[in-house]
Copies of this chain bind each other. A is one copy, B any other.
Amino acid sequence: MHTIDDLIQLALQEDIGPGDITTDNLVAPHTQGKGVIVAKQDLVVAGLQVAEKVFTALAPRIDFEALCADGDQLLAGSTVVEIEAGLGALLKGERTALNFLQRLSGIATQARAFVGEVAGTSVRLVDTRKTTPGWRVLEKYAVRIGGAHNHRMGLYDGVLIKDNHIAVSGGIANAVKTVRQQISHLVKVEVEAATFEEVKAAMAADADVIMLDNMDLEQIRRAVRMIDKKALVEVSGNVTRQRLKTLAQTGVDLISIGALTHSAVAVDMSMRIEMI
Query: Which residues of A come within 8 Å of B, CB atoms?
Result: 1-3, 6-23, 25-28, 31, 33, 87, 91-92, 95-96, 98-100, 102-103, 124, 126, 129-137, 144, 149-162, 164-165, 167-169, 175, 178-179, 181-188, 190, 208-209, 232, 234, 253-254, 262-266, 273, 275
Contacts and interface: CB of A to CB of B under 8 A. Distances in A.
A164 B22 CA distance: 11
Contacts of A27: 164-165, 168
Contact of A1 (B19, B22, B100): B19
Contacts of A144: 182
A255 to B, nearest CB: 12
Copies in the complex: 6
Contacts of A153: 17-18, 156, 184
Given A21-B183, A151-B184, A187-B158, A26 B169 contact: yes
A93 B31 CA distance: 31
B156 A7 contact: no
Given A164-B273, A187-B158, A13 B19 contact: no
A87 B164 contact: yes
Contact of A21 (B6, B15, B155, B208): B155
